[in-house]
Amino acid sequence: MTETVLHGCQCEPLASYLKAFGLLRLVSEQVDSQATGWWRGDTFVIDCSLDLSGLVQFLAESYRPTAIINPWNKGSGFAPDDRTKSKTAFAAVSDIANATDARLEGYRDAIAVARALAGQPDWGDRPKEEQVLLCRNALPDEALPWLDAAVVITNREAVFPSLLGTGGNDGRLDFGSNFMQRLIDMLRISAKPRKATEVASLARSALSGEQTGALDRIPIGQFDPAATGGPGSGPFGAGIGLANPWDFILLFEGAVMFASGVARRFSSEHASASSIPFSVPAVAAGHPSAATESSRRELWAPLWRQPSTSVELRRLIAEGRVDYRGKQARTALDVARALSSLGADRGIDAFVRYGFLERNGLATFSVPVGRFQVPHHPNRTALMLGQLDGWLQGVRRVANPPASLEGRLRRVDTLQFELSHAAAPSGVQNILIEVASIEALASRSKAIREGAGGPVSGLRAADWLPILADGSVEFELAAALASLRPAARGPGWLRQIVADGEWKGRRPKVDGLGRRPILDVLADALSQILLMSADQRKQNTGGCFGDANAVWASPSAVSALLNGEVDLVRLESLLCACLLLDWSGGDRLPAGLTRLLVPTSLPPAFAVLKPSFHHRRLMNQVRHLHATVKWSRLLQAGLCAQAIEQGLRELRIAGFRLAVHSPMSLAHGLDSRRLAAACLVPMSDASVQALLTRITLDNDNNELEQL
């Protein structure tokens, strides 16, 4: 066995990638069944009984081509009027049919059957599906691999894998006809055959990557955009298409390995759809031009580093499906997330993504749009993001969506692509922030609301917190605020009042989240919650907002909010994201916060007010401490001293001996809006009890002087 590095077979462009498949398949089937191939970096390596010179000799002298014909296409050389309208194609079919070379025996048999079918009087009037089905039933076995790669007949329609255009052609370029033209040239059966040395030189150049002679002026179609010519392809305008004939031949021999099949492996909505190996609908994300170019589908071309035989690769491609959340991946984004969350079987290390993009008018080119490295360890985050799919799919089905919605959806897809490579809390946060903005947009549009079917739901906070938490005070505060909820199970307080909770397009009780300063919104929300929880206070049950279960913030986070050390823009965005989560499962205490001491940077004024705004009754507290709406409105009006006076009065009535007395001194230098927002933030019982200890005379270690 000889290991040969084929520098002419690179994983980009697609023509070069398929050429590697074609060579391995032909060598395995016609020379050495034990031949193996693999990728070393971007270059293909083959290990077989032939060295480079032997491979060149095999192609030039022994290679038996696959019967590649498209009788169902006009211009293929088989249509009744091709004799006059497509003379070159008709001549190519005739040359192969009349050739005496033994290597073309199977080809001649296939042409004879195809001519008999196309010669039927009503052939041109039959639908393409029926033509393909008749070919499938009548053609010899040598022609079936190509047919299965070019067209798939389901129980509803003919499906054309994007890899081979629309049934073996790219516009007016019929692949079968051009394949035969290249064969006639390289097998030296034309009227004026090429020199054998020239054919061998071109074969060596195709495999080694060394340019040893002039290229031919031939169309290679979508498989190598740089070699197609056309407008803007040359330094002085339009260039001409140049390619090595062996590149053209071998790429189609390789494409045969991507034969499609029909399988009921999809969900019910996709039942009986064709199973096109490693091919999925594209999404407008994941590469720089995704938002501006139209793409039919994407091919995810696998790269592997372990030696594999042609049989093993056929099996890999035949099973070429990717499952995501129990179903077959339906988009390129699904594939990326599936590979991130589950990895890849069969030793695949990476994929080259090829998008079939429409450029130069309606021409389609297979353009590499990125690499996806399969992670060694599953990424649970990518799997979690699938919980958003159902809701987002409903939004995507909205007819004539506004540009603002399309832009947000595109950003969600782009962020998910990025996250499939490397999970990071900030990435998950940004996705939920975008989804929250879509939900807010939907609440103001009847069409989008109907498409979505309701607000985002089903995202259990307990599941999402581990992948969202980034250790920042902004996230800590946002999670604590979003988790604050009434005693009764249901949406959190802020979810009820700052969003369209009833999903009827109505203005929220507290409007402006995302449009007004966040401190103003939180101060208004504080007053609204006090109004809504008034009945509980009258019954003297629970705390200020009801005996709620909440994630509480650490004293250091609250101190940062009071001292102006928090990024309020980020806090607002993260609060919108956290409001999407379902917090009804009870306390989700962040680890390590229960024993944190109250930092001395928390002002005494906050220690006066916060116990009355605490969301539940403190241990050993004889009388409940309750703030009223009057307090919050005083803070909204900037009257800190008056609000603090109310707090001091509530504490004295409750029987506390206070170490602080002067409201004016306590209010000095404080921002009333920050103080109101901080009073809304849930804190642990231990932290609030420590606040009380700091301002009362019941503790021997009290460090405060009387004010």
The DSSP result for 156-203, as a single string, is S-EE--GGGBTTTEETTEEHHHHHHHHHHHHTT-SSSPPPHHHHHHHH
Residue 373 structure tokens: 């490295």
What is the rounded distance in angstroms from the CA atom of residue 126 to the CA atom of residue 120? 10
What is the rounded distance in angstroms from the CA atom of residue 332 to the CA atom of residue 417? 9
Burial call 204-214: b when 16+ CB within 10 Å, e when fewer: bbbbbeeeeee
What is the rounded distance in angstroms from the CA atom of residue 481 to the CA atom of residue 489? 16
What is the rounded distance in angstroms from the CA atom of residue 495 to the CA atom of residue 474? 18
Structure confidence at residue 557 as a pLDDT band (50, 70, 90): very high
Between 88 and 625, residue with greater pLDDT: 88
Element (H, E) at 87: helix 87-98
Q: Do 505 and 704 touch, CB atoms closer than 8 A? A: no
What is the rounded distance in angstroms from the CA atom of residue 684 to the CA atom of residue 587? 11
pLDDT at 664: 93
Judged by average pLDDT, the poorest of 179-183, 205-209, 484-488, 611-615 is 484-488
The answer on pLDDT for 592 being more than 50 is no
pLDDT at 667: 92
Task: Choose among 24, 106, 15, 18: nearest CA to 58.
Answer: 24
The answer on pLDDT for 702 being more than 50 is no
Q: At what angle do helices 640-653 and 629-636 cross, to 10 degrees?
A: 160
Could you read off the pLDDT of 651-661 as tens digits, one per residue? Answer: 998 888 888 88
Judged by average pLDDT, the poorest of 315-324, 455-464, 475-484 is 315-324
Query: Cα-flanking dihedrals φ and ψ of residue 285, to 5°?
Result: -165, 165
Q: Do 148 and 44 touch, CB atoms closer than 8 A? A: no
Residue 52 structure tokens: 């480079």
Burial call 26-52: b when 16+ CB within 10 Å, e when fewer: bbbeebbeebbbbbeeebbbbbbebeb
The answer on pLDDT for 400 being more than 70 is yes
pLDDT at 318: 75
Q: Do 659 and 572 touch, CB atoms closer than 8 A? A: no
Long-range Cβ contact pairs of 32-36 (< 8 A, separation 24 or more): 33/309, 34/1, 34/309, 35/309, 35/310, 36/307, 36/308, 36/309
Q: 182 exposed, middle or buried (CB, 10 Å; 0-12, 13-18, 19+)? A: buried
The contacts of residue 207 (CB under 8 Å, 6+ apart) are: 6, 8, 9, 23, 52, 55, 56
pLDDT at 672: 94
* Helix and strand numbers, DSSP H then E, in the chain: 30, 18
Could you read off the pLDDT of 90-149 as tens digits, one per residue? Answer: 999 999 999 999 999 999 999 999 999 999 988 888 888 889 999 989 999 989 999 988
Q: What is the DSSP letter of 676?
A: H
pLDDT at 371: 85
Structure confidence at residue 183 as a pLDDT band (50, 70, 90): very high
pLDDT at 269: 40
Alpha-carbon distances of 449 from 385, 391, 406, 580, rounded to whole Å: 21, 11, 15, 16
Query: Cα-flanking dihedrals φ and ψ of residue 397, to 5°?
Result: -80, 0
* Secondary structure (3-state) at 598: coil
pLDDT at 249: 95
Could you read off the pLDDT of 316-359 as tens digits, one per residue? Answer: 887 666 666 666 666 777 777 777 665 555 678 888 988 887 75
pLDDT at 324: 64
What is the average pLDDT score of the chain?
83
Residue 521 structure tokens: 């919104």
- The residues spanned by each domain of the chain are 2-62, 66-186, 269-379, 458-707
What is the rounded distance in angstroms from the CA atom of residue 644 to the CA atom of residue 650? 10
Query: What's the rounded mean pLDDT across residues 354-374?
Result: 76
Between 119 and 488, residue with greater pLDDT: 119
Residue 674 structure tokens: 């920050």
What is the rounded distance in angstroms from the CA atom of residue 28 to the CA atom of residue 10? 20
pLDDT at 84: 84
Q: 264 exposed, middle or buried (CB, 10 Å; 0-12, 13-18, 19+)? A: exposed
Percent of the chain with pLDDT over 70: 82
The answer on pLDDT for 292 being more than 50 is no
Query: What's the rounded mean pLDDT across residues 605-626?
Result: 79
Structure confidence at residue 540 as a pLDDT band (50, 70, 90): low
Structure confidence at residue 171 as a pLDDT band (50, 70, 90): confident
Element (H, E) at 392: helix 389-396
